[in-house]
């Protein structure tokens, strides 16, 4: 049984999710301890517990310690089974993080899968459904992965209740390595404000501030009223290039003004554009696992975060893969993966 210290590196939920994915894929039993010990509320919270149970369900795993607040689990996977699955977090916890836990195992299953996921779809510290559709999944498709993610109802904190469906076709020939070193030509840019059960003035203020900071055309803005189980708002700042896309999500929160939400999102996009890197800060660590499973690949990214370094270490516990990273003269970083 592989022993994994969940306090290593950034010490959050990513170690748990990557470990579950790779335990399932490599059929390696694991004991994971000190789970999320670097967080203010350590141990398994709702979205982490559902990730454990979801990973267990798709491979009939034997699990111990899977209860709220637990700081240690043992996970013994069985064969991965495609099929129809439904997972509900029961809170506003991110169902996108649950998806990322089980997506790649189901991609490499022997039959198609359809998922129904309920919970938060637009969370402050997790990829939003729009980010996955704009940035993450298009690159996975270049690797031979066939996935369709549809948002049926957004879920905002604290009500949650979002709903997505995911259709996954197995990649019978495995995954293809890719190189993402240049953005290519700019194709479009947009600022999109979603709002539910809140005054429209909030979205208008966000759009005005974002345009002022970014100096983009008014033609790039869009406001959309959406139906959800509770009030919520998200500002989506999107740039689509020839080879990649970047999307920054500014999630509205109680006590945070529309102006601050918009400034933070716009400035994050400004930093990305200034760097000239094709891969943004948050996409880099998410691409490491599919590239490792493909046996190689190259990225040029905006930076190397603690999440990236932690994910590298976790992946290398399971797979014989070299993951090298170095700073370039232009301030971006080169990441190369190769089988050892």
Is residue 192 part of the annotated active site? The answer reads: no
Q: 133 with 192: CB under 8 angstroms?
A: no
Query: How does pLDDT run across 177-232, given as a tens digit for each residue?
Result: 999 999 999 999 999 999 999 999 999 999 999 999 999 998 999 999 999 999 99
Q: Which two tokens stand for residue 270?
A: 């400004």
Asked whether residue 69 carries a pLDDT value surpassing 90, the answer given is: yes
* Cα–Cα distance for residue pair 52/234, rounded to 1 Å: 28
pLDDT, averaged across the chain: 96
pLDDT given at position 257:
96
> What's the pLDDT score for residue 88?
96
Contacts of 167 (CB under 8 A, 6+ apart): 112, 113, 114, 115, 147, 148
Give the DSSP letter string of 242-255: SS-EEEEEEE--TT
Can you give the pLDDT at residue 172?
83
Which residue, among 159, 151, 168, has the nearest Cα to 89 in the 3D structure?
159
Q: Quote the pLDDT of residue 8.
A: 92
Cα-based distances in Å from 3 to 6, 57, 75, 238: 10, 22, 11, 40
Can you give the pLDDT at residue 105? 98
What the chain holds in terms of domains, given with CATH numbers, is 1-80 (3.30.110), 83-173 (3.65.10.20), 177-181+276-340 (3.30.110), 186-274 (3.30.360.20)
Alpha carbons within 13 A on the beta-carbon side of 14 = 25
From the candidates 48, 238, 307, 334, give the one annotated as an active-site residue. Answer: 307
């Amino acid at each position: 049984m592989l022993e994994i210290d969940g306090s290593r590196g950034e010490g959050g939920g990513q170690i748990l999710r990557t470990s579950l994915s790779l335990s399932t894929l490599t059929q390696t039993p694991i004991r994971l301890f000190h789970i999320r010990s670097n967080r203010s509320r350590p141990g398994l919270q709702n979205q982490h517990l559902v990730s454990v149970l979801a990973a267990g369900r798709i491979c009939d795993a034997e699990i111990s310690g899977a209860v709220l607040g637990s700081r240690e689990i043992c996970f013994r996977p069985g064969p991965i089974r495609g099929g129809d699955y439904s997972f509900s977090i029961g809170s506003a916890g991110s169902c996108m993080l649950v998806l990322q836990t089980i997506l790649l195992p189901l991609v490499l299953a022997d039959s198609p899968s359809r998922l129904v996921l309920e919970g938060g779809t637009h969370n402050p510290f997790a990829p939003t459904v729009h980010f996955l559709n704009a940035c993450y999944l298009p690159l996975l498709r270049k690797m031979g992965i066939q996935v369709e993610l549809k948002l049926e109802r957004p879920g905002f904190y604290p009500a949650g209740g979002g709903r997505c469906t995911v259709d996954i076709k197995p990649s019978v020939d495995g995954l293809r390595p890719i190189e993402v070193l240049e953005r290519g030509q700019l194709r479009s840019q947009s600022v999109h404000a979603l709002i539910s059960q809140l005054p429209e003035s909030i979205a208008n203020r966000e759009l005005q501030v974002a345009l002022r900071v970014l100096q983009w055309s008014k033609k790039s803005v869009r406001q959309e009223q959406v139906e959800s189980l509770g009030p919520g708002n998200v500002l989506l700042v999107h740039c689509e290039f020839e080879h990649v896309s970047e999307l920054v999500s500014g999630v509205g929160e109680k006590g945070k003004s529309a102006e601050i939400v918009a400034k933070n999102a716009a400035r994050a996009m400004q930093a990305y554009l200034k760097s000239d890197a094709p891969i943004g800060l948050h996409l880099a660590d998410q691409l490491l696992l599919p590239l490792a499973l493909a046996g190689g690949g190259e990225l040029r990214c905006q930076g190397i975060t603690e999440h990236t370094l932690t994910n590298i270490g976790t992946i290398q516990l399971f797979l014989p893969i070299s993951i090298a990273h170095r700073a370039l003269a232009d301030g971006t970083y080169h990441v190369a993966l190769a089988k050892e």
